[in-house]
Structure 1
Amino acid sequence: MIVIDDGPDLHPPEIMDEIGHFPNMTYIIGDREDLGISEGRNIGVRMVKTKYFINLDDDYVVSEHTDMPKMLEMLDTTDLSLVGGKCKRNFAGFMEFRNDKETGKSALMYYPGSCTVKSEELSSYPGCYRCDLTANGFMARTRDILDVGGWSKEVKIGEHKDIFLRLKAARKKVVFCENCIIQNVHSDKGVELNDEIENSFNKKAYRKLRYRRKQQMGHIFLNHWNVDKLIEIENKTNPRTWD
């Protein structure tokens, strides 16, 4: 297991001791500020020595319901590049570049949940559907991720759609399996802070900083793909066909 910590600071000694209890885990702490999710994942995937790897966000957990043997079998017996699992929200869907009807400007259209249509289901694997994008919990062919250059390191957050667009542009095949469950353990309550940190922590300023950061990364992402805006359309299917 490879864990990439944005860093650059070390954790307290008691936390580092806990990390040391997992001999099968390589724990990498970034050596500079603002490493970012994308570059962290690039570091991780370059360390992978196996033909396939599983990518997980830090709030995703695998279990007996993830069915990793099935994901492995699919990659091992087909020309698929990536098999994604299902989490709390169904991210799996199609993306396409087109002009926004209202503005006439170029847009990236994303249809979350659109891939679970009957025509896209794999005959050999019921419950698995071809798509362009899945959740950030997936098993992938290491070579194919490296072939598309990995994640765009300038997109430090909001890297999700970027890597799947890279795969789509390279005509790599992506599949979503609704019966491979990946648990999301993210808490909306946030981190509990002690009184000293709580009193010194400016939540309002943090929210503003976070918002500006997301806006900045959003602009970088759109410029990278030469589109004016991203439009998400829920509960609609894209009438494309797979060729």
Structure 2
Amino acid sequence: MLINFRPWRATSHALKIPRALRGKFSMRTPLHPQVGSQDRTRCSIYCPTMRVSYKKGLGLLVISGFLLVVLLNSRSPGSGFGVDLRPGRINELETAIMEQLQDRLNDYNDISYHIKDDVACRLARNTCFCVADKETFQLPFSNLFFPRIKAHNPGLNFLQSHPDPEGVKQSRAREYSGVQMRSSSPADVLIVNEANSPLQFPSQGVAVRPLGTILIPGLGLIEETTSNHTVYLTATLGTFDVAATVERVSIKGEGKPHMILSSAFLSALNRQLQFITYTNTVFHPRTADTVQFATQGHSAFFTIKIGHSAIPRLYNSGYPKETNISALVTIVTKTFLRYDKLKDLIDSIRQYYPTVTIVIADDNEHPQQVTGPHIEQFIMPFKKGWFAGRNLAVSQVTTKYVLWVDDDFIFKADTRLEKMVDILERTSLDLVGGAVREATGWTSTFRHTISVETGGEDGDCIHIRRGYHHVIKEFPNCVVTDAVINFFMGRTDKVQQVGFNPRLARRGHLEFFIDGLGSLHIGSCNDVVINHASKIKLPWSGTKSEKAYKQFRYAQESDLHDETFYFTNRFKCMTSHS
């Protein structure tokens, strides 16, 4: 079974249990009957044979449970169905919506109109020009009293000096296309409601830049023949006008927030409605205006989104024929009292990726200089903390992707960063985690799902469970989840957008993914593995720095975490697997 899932096509439906049935069903099903204390006592006194059988059964149950855990941890997620996460493809439904809208726009092409130049010139033409004011005269302080508009073409000199201008233009276009596809949303698709009321209007997908002007698409009136047809338009953050006038249509309120249009001819009125413009007059970088569209007996409302378009953040990684990890990825880590482990990490990275930049955040009391090619070390105040170090390290990344590793990890042959880059390039995921192999051979991915339940005035409830949502099509060893282990690669801008709470000094990991819930689309692949340096030490064999590290690392911060969850995140309750 394959589900055609794209980030902007997904919908969620809350399953609500009727009040009368609440409490009659339980999500917990016992694996075996529970034995009461009295029954156990009776068996131990009067039935010694049964007691031995009970112990054997208990032992088999423990062993079976352990094997089940191993099986669940090691099983390939590819056994489930795959969900397609490739972004940006238009399905048949959206194609039908666009064709239907185009048919509506062509319904009244045979009716003539006259352009209003003063209004039409304000409409966006999907083109812009880099034009400066001409210098007419030069007087002392003339720029102060008569400032001129200067123009600068940032691409002109850059492309002229670049050895491969066409290649960089293609790379730029490819990056921009990827950003557009990943940032698109079903709420941006223009949908026009049929005239059921009998008003026809756009139910979503209408947007205007602050103080900008647009044509309102999809307005129409379908009603029985009468002596006169009249419609009303009312806005609160803007004004209406017409980009062209149609004969035999009366218009009142041009340039005002309330407009009345009337005509004895329905087709002429509908033709005029195709030229209605909306101009935002109250500046706000991100809001919406609720517009009323009405007749004498019917009324409808729709919104016009007001806001600046998001400025894309593109990364110039060149235009290589194959993946260039050094140009795409920066490895970041934070170190504290473990320079020996850090050296082993760097040596292992250089064995497989000799030219990848490594950024190190260091909050040691007596920092040691870490030298080498493509290494950047940033010194912080003593014991500034775990998340503060993450923030600093990530803030210095200039590549498209950032890879987080702990300073006691070791790269091996199956630490394939190319796999992580491939899945981020080909899907809508913002972040993908790998697996960490312990000295015992056990590997962990720390996959968890996170959900928030509305809780009222006292706060919400957050529920954290081990597991994942679904397998990713074409990547059978990868799944979609909400939290991953401390070895992950993410889009730099998305990781920086969520950030790390610098108050969490000694402990913190899941908190980042809680803050990113709703912002980050996360995956996990169990076939990209990094090793964890052995932590098996005899109690008396630890070095002075190792003992000091343990004192700092395992310091209590429960009050701070409770404050963060209660106040910052507004949670009153947290549930999770023990």
Residues 123-143 of structure 1, C-alpha deviation per residue, up to 9 Å, x if partnerless? 121110000000010111001
Residues 8-54 of structure 1, C-alpha deviation per residue, up to 9 Å, x if partnerless? 4223xxxx4xx32x222112221x23311111111111111100010
Task: Find the partner of 2:494 among 144, 148, 157.
Answer: 144
Task: Show the counterpart of 2:563.
Answer: 220
Task: Show the counterpart of 1:241.
Answer: none
Are positions 1:125 and 2:475 aligned together?
A: yes
Residues 183-216 of structure 1, C-alpha deviation per residue, up to 9 Å, x if partnerless? 222514277236xx99xx8999x48x9443x313
Task: Show the counterpart of 1:182.
Answer: 530
Distance apart, 1:99 and its partner CA:
8.3
Change (3 A) 1:105 1:141: closer
Distance apart, 1:144 and its partner CA:
0.7
CA–CA distance in 2 between the matches of 1:229 and 1:157? 23
SS of alignment partner, residue 10 of structure 1: coil
TM-score scaled to structure 1, two decimals?
Answer: 0.75
Task: Find the partner of 1:6 among 339, 363, 369.
Answer: 363
Change (3 A) 1:167 1:203: closer
SS of alignment partner, residue 33 of structure 1: coil
Q: Is the 8 A contact 2:430 2:521 kept in 1?
A: yes
CA–CA distance in 2 between the matches of 1:169 and 1:155? 21
Change (3 A) 1:44 1:203: closer
State the number of aligned residues: 210
Q: 1:1-243 alignment to 2 at 5 Å?
A: 1-11=358-368, 16=369, 19-20=370-371, 22-30=372-380, 32-87=381-436, 88-98=443-453, 106-112=460-466, 114-115=467-468, 120-148=470-498, 150-170=499-519, 172-189=520-537, 192-193=542-543, 206=551, 210-212=554-556, 214-223=557-566, 224-233=568-577
2:508 partner amino acid? E
Judge which range, 85-94 or 38-47, deviates more: 85-94
CA–CA distance in 2 between the matches of 1:185 and 1:68? 19
Distance apart, 1:105 and its partner CA:
8.2
CA–CA distance in 1 between the matches of 2:512 and 2:486? 10
1:48 partner amino acid? V
Task: Show the counterpart of 1:237.
Answer: none
Q: Is the 8 A contact 1:158 1:217 kept in 2?
A: no
CA–CA distance in 2 between the matches of 1:185 and 1:202? 18
Judge which range, 225-234 or 139-148, deviates more: 225-234
CA–CA distance in 2 between the matches of 1:220 and 1:57? 26
1:72 partner amino acid? V
Change (3 A) 1:231 1:130: same
RMSD: 3.0
Distance apart, 1:165 and its partner CA:
1.7
Q: Is the 8 A contact 1:93 1:134 kept in 2?
A: yes
- Give me the identity figure in percent: 21
SS of alignment partner, residue 169 of structure 1: coil
CA–CA distance in 2 between the matches of 1:53 and 1:202? 30
Distance apart, 1:74 and its partner CA:
1.1
Change (3 A) 1:221 1:64: farther
SS of alignment partner, residue 429 of structure 2: coil
Gaps of 5+ in 1: 235-243
Q: Is the 8 A contact 1:162 1:221 kept in 2?
A: no
SS of alignment partner, residue 394 of structure 2: helix
Residues 193-243 of structure 1, C-alpha deviation per residue, up to 9 Å, x if partnerless? 36xx99xx8999x48x9443x313322332322224543316xxxxxxxxx
Task: Show the counterpart of 2:77.
Answer: none
1:219 partner amino acid? D
Change (3 A) 1:52 1:10: same
SS of alignment partner, residue 126 of structure 1: strand
SS of alignment partner, residue 516 of structure 2: helix
Distance apart, 1:55 and its partner CA:
0.4
CA–CA distance in 2 between the matches of 1:72 and 1:48? 16
Judge which range, 150-159 or 69-78, deviates more: 150-159
Q: Is the 8 A contact 1:155 1:220 kept in 2?
A: no
1:44 partner amino acid? A
Q: Bigger radius of gyration, 1 or 2?
A: 2
2:482 partner amino acid? D
